[in-house]
Structure 1
Amino acid sequence: MPLLDFIRYHQHLTGTKAGCNEGDCGACTILIGDLHNGELRYRSFTSCLTPLGNARGKHIVTIEGVSMPSLNPIQQALIDNSATQCGFCTPGFVMSLAGFCLSRQVPKRRRAIAAIDGNICRCTGYKSIEKTASIIANFVKQRNETDPVTFAVEQQILPSWFSGIEERLKKLTLSLNGEPAAAGTPIVGGGTDLYVQKPEDIREQSLRFFFDDPSLKGISRQGNKCIFGASSTATDLLESAVMQEYFPQLENYIKLVSSTPIRNMATIAGNFINASPIGDLTIFFLALDTTLEFNTGRILPLRQLYKGYKQLNKTEEEYVCRCWFELPDKDTLFHFEKVSKRTHLDIASVNTAICIRMQDGYISKARISAGGLNPVPGLLTDTAAFLEGQIPDDALVQQACAIAQKEISPISDARGTADYKRLLLEQLIKAHFITLFPSLPIQV
């Protein structure tokens, strides 16, 4: 079952609200603490999409878990700034801001606001909530080098018993209840899409929980390759020193992918295997010509994974173990673009990425990926081939846009009409070149 159901209907902790059951509204936000490289780490999760099996060996914190005899600074700031009305969404905001207070990142206003990008309020208005986030950010700046949990306890953001959680987790003995699931049993990673698509189907199934498998975690550099485990999350990607070094705009790209709680849960390989035509991470890594390795030892380029809509080039027994791509050198340019109806918590109307290698002013190699335009996420191979050997200029970009139109077959749906998506692709290709070649006078 989803962790939300266990919290509300088995533990009877009803402060955690059941809202959309799709990870969109943030009313069910909780904190999950675990040991990461020997240190206690907390991240926000949407409990409606968190498999109960993924709670194993962790500290689960609901709104009741931050309650004290008097209001904590987060709750008080929300009241002082009139940042709550009906109050249904408020527990989620409190938990997300508590997660910000427990983060080891340098506390900044933009990070406090980013922490609540997975929470929706329908009646208060966001300026009062943003003001609250700013006050909390300024409050947390006082901690300097103090451990986040220690500071939160000292400032009565959290109850005093949080100080003993790290040692309790270290002493916790992990054991499975019953026999391990057999091979061929359905696999669940973060659950962010599986629990939206078929929650009733999987409620009574045996499952294999891969989210915490250490062999499927980690992002590292080996030679000129970046290698990442299949269960690494979008947040792991964002926080990776390797990725930050080679992709200076990484934060701008990843913030377009869903929301903070979902990024904390969503696995990279899960995005690939979901096979959505608009999978953001799929489009990102297609442009980098990423390679997959399955548990059988089979190696497959990501571009060859998709045979048709939701049809994969893999057997039921196969699952992705790790992935890798060649890190860009100084002559390689990369950019990712996405258009959706809202910035956060939304799927793309069209998304696209480009990877270009330059040599003596010419494009020696190009790859352009695009989503939302065909039944499967894929590469615009004809467009890329046309670009190779050419000097970037406005005429080249206009011709490339025309060729790209012949490689797509969009349909009209809730994300936009087919004509609108064609226009979006043209504009986003231009955006790639405007960003990567700012001196070029591209006609838009």
Structure 2
Amino acid sequence: MPPGMLLLDFIRYHQHLTGTKIGCNEGDCGACTVLIGSLVNNRLQYRSFTSCLTPLGNVHGKHVVTIEGINMQELNPIQQAMYDESATQCGFCTPGFVMSLAGFCLSEAAPTTQQAITAIDGNICRCTGYKSIERAAARVAQLVQDRGEVAPAVFAAEQQILPAYFSNIKERLQTLQQSLNGEMTPAEDVRAHYVGGGTDVYVQKPEEMKQKAIRFLFDQPPLNGITRQGSRVILGPAVTVTDLQESPVMQDCFPQLDECIKLVSSTPIRNMATIGGNFINASPIGDFTIFFLALDATLVLSDGEHTRELPLRQLYKGYKQLNKTPEEYITQLWFEWPETAQHLFRFEKVSKRTHLDIASVNTALHIRMEQEVMAEVHLAVGGVGPVPMRLERTAAFLQGRWLSVALLQEALNIAQTEITPISDARGTEAYKRLLLSQLIKAHFISLFPQLSVADLLNL
């Protein structure tokens, strides 16, 4: 099978496991949800994936679990909860919901109803109604209440939540890894297409990607990991959004990280989407492109022979045009975050839906304070120009000053001169201009509670 083939097609048409459904083919509905088990630092980890956007090459050496793989002689407790709570009607979406809840049982998430509901945030039901599904999720949360320190897969097997074979998957994956012998080493074809999580490229051209020579960057050890070295935070480009969310380093730097990540996509897509892919996709509204632009991040690029550093702010030359050669890919990114400094950071986003939607306008603000003075200011915005951008003149105006309502008013006026939004499906030009001003105000209302909210809102 070509490694660029979609996992969904392989499951249904080659393995004839038709319980995994074909829905939107864009990662939005969750009907095709499967679980992918892998060893991370010798720890067994399962995450939910949308198989409609996952190339076979990204699951090489991993445990792929479809709905058939969690069936037991009778309904397992997750399926039984869905049945008892009348949480299924036409049944088309049900396998995806069950798989997401199974992923919750195999995760280390807190055994709460809210965490169980969060696990199904990428699944859509068109006919049943979500209250019955939420009740089923609450019952599933009760199944893992007493897990304690037992490994999730072992506990699920011992308690007969999932089939018994889950108890020895870790050992089987260890054996499998020893026998792989590098069959999936990246293609050396100079025309090879680089693929990270695949969450955008497989929406755009799935059939074309099936036959391409591909260098798979997802889950490659040299391209992973989040570490701190002195004042520098260093990330691999294959780090996923979920990796960011779970990183102690990132949580320490950004106490509100969970809050902003909830605004980005769904759990399965966050499990797949890579930070490097978000940058290279070059969308004018890439959420984490905006996040890291505000941090003034630097990229390390390589063509296999030579490496160079490039500030992220210099990557974008025009709409979908990058300051890199086709052979270059990101090997690392980093940003400065001195522990001794007082940092203020905020990410804001408005979209047609609060969750599971792309932004109309998004923005991030990073300020390094020295006593009461804004010593360093970085303001990044998306959706108001052809590329993700930083408002350099606005930031320069604020830098080195004490904040006041009058100062912010002038900054908002300068910001309007730096942007060139267009009217499109996500809003009119006037709407986007208004949104940007309101989101900048939201930054300052959140970060500077001493300011008068009434005065700011009246600007």
TM over 0.5: yes
TM-score normalized by the length of structure 2 = 0.94
Q: CA RMSD in A?
A: 1.3
Match of 2:323 in 1: 313
Shift of 1:309: 0.1
Q: CA–CA distance in 2 between the matches of 1:312 and 1:433?
A: 32
- Counterpart check, 1:260 vs 2:267: yes
Cα offset, 1:177, TM superposition: 6.8
What SS does the aligned partner of 1:336 have? strand
Q: 2:7 aligns with which of 3, 9, 13?
A: 3
Structure 2 residue corresponding to 1:292, chosen from 299, 302, 323: 299
Say whether the 8 Å CA contact 1:356–1:363 is kept in structure 2. yes
Contact 1:117 1:344 in 2 (8 A): no
Bigger shift: residues 99-108 or 424-433: 99-108
Q: Following TM superposition, by how much is the alpha carbon of 1:328 offset from its aligned partner in structure 2, in angstroms?
A: 5.2
Greater mean deviation of Cα atoms: 199-208 or 222-231: 199-208
Answer yes or no: is the 8 Å Cα contact 2:236–2:331 preserved in 1: yes
1:4-42 deviation digits (Å, cap 9, x = unpaired) = 000011111010000000000010000000010001110
- Give the aligned partner of residue 250 of structure 1: 257
Structure 2 match to 1:384: 395
Number of aligned residue pairs: 444
- The answer on 1:193 being equivalent to 2:193 is no
Verify the 8 A CA contact 1:2 1:50 in the aligned structure 2: yes
Q: Read off the aligned partner of 1:278 and give its amino acid letter.
A: I
Q: State the identity %.
A: 66
Report SS of the residue matched to 2:317. Answer: strand
In 2, the alpha carbon distance for the partners of 1:327 and 1:357 equals 10
Structure-2 change in CA distance of 1:90 and 1:306 (3 Å): same
The C-alpha deviation readout for 1:141-161, integer Å capped at 9, x for no partner, is 121222211111122221111
Q: Which 4+ residue blocks in structure 1 deviate beyond 3 angstroms?
A: 177-181
Give the whole-Å Cα distance in 2 for the aligned partners of 1:278 and 1:177.
Answer: 33
Q: Which residue of 2 aligns with 1:399?
A: 410
Which of 435, 447, 455 aligns to 1:436? It is 447
SS of structure 1 residue aligned to 2:451? coil
Q: Distance in 2 between matches of 1:314 and 1:332?
A: 31
Secondary structure of the corresponding residue to residue 141 of structure 1: coil
- The answer to whether the Cα contact below 8 Å between 2:67 and 2:99 also exists between their aligned partners in 1 is yes
Q: 2:426 aligns with which of 412, 415, 434?
A: 415
Residue number among 208, 217, 222 corresponding to 1:210 in the alignment: 217
Q: What is the SS of the residue equivalent to 1:298?
A: strand
Q: Deviations over 1:204-232 (max 9, x none)?
A: 11111111211101100011111011111
CA contact (8 A) 1:339 1:350 kept: yes
Gaps of 5+ in 1: none
1:302 aligns with 2:312: yes
- What are the superposed Cα offsets for residues 293-331 of structure 1, whole Å, 9 maximum, x if unpaired? 011311000000000000000001100000000125441
Q: Given that residues 393 and 441 in structure 1 are in contact (C-alpha distance below 8 angstroms), is that contact kept between their aligned partners in structure 2? A: no
Which deviations, in whole Å up to 9, do the C-alpha atoms of 1:125-183 show, x marking residues without a partner? 21221222222122211212222111111222211111121111111121417994323
Alignment of 1:31-430 (within 5 A): 31-172=35-176, 173-174=179-180, 175-176=182-183, 180-295=187-302, 296-327=306-337, 329=339, 330-430=341-441
Q: Supply the AA of the counterpart residue of 1:189.
A: G
Q: Quick one: distance in 2 between partners of 1:440 and 1:166?
A: 54
Question: Is the CA contact (8 Å cut-off) linking 1:216 and 1:229 kept in structure 2?
Answer: yes
Shift of 1:76: 1.1
Instruction: Tell me the distance in 1 between the aligned counterparts of 2:338 and 2:88.
Output: 46
Aligned match of 1:22 in 22, 26, 45? 26
Query: Which moves more between the two structures, 141-150 or 267-276?
Result: 141-150
Q: Is the 8 A contact 2:143 2:161 kept in 1?
A: no
SS in 1 for 2:39: strand
One-letter amino acid of the structure 1 residue matched with residue 439 of structure 2: L
Matches of 1:138 and 1:10 in 2, distance apart? 37
> Whole-Å Cα distance in 2 between the matches of residues 12 and 160 of structure 1?
23
SS at match of 1:300: strand
